[in-house]
């Protein structure tokens, strides 16, 4: 899918340099992947402290199941 985006050329050139990418498209794709991954991580961290376990829940037996 082709898209026309106006992106700061200096920013793209810097990303090409630091990321070692060959094309502008590759830079944008990697940046979007990292953005999505980061947002997913933030959603997961929002769950900390919201999950309640039963008082008698024992997680240790599950650790040994491999």
pLDDT of residue 65: 65
Contact status, residue 29 vs residue 21, Cβ threshold 8 Å? no
Both tokens of residue 53?
């376990």
pLDDT of residue 66: 58
pTM greater than the 0.75 cutoff: no
pLDDT tens-place string over residues 10-49: 999 999 999 999 999 999 999 999 999 999 999 988 888 7
Contact status, residue 19 vs residue 27, Cβ threshold 8 Å? yes
Q: How many CB atoms lie within 10 A of CB 42?
A: 9
């Amino acid at each position: 899918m082709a898209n026309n985006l106006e992106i700061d050329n200096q920013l793209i050139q810097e990303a090409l340099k630091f990321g070692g990418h060959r094309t502008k498209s590759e830079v944008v794709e990697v940046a979007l992947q990292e953005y999505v991954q980061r947002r997913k991580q933030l959603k997961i961290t929002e769950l900390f402290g919201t999950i309640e376990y039963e008082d008698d829940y024992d997680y240790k037996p599950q650790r040994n199941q491999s």
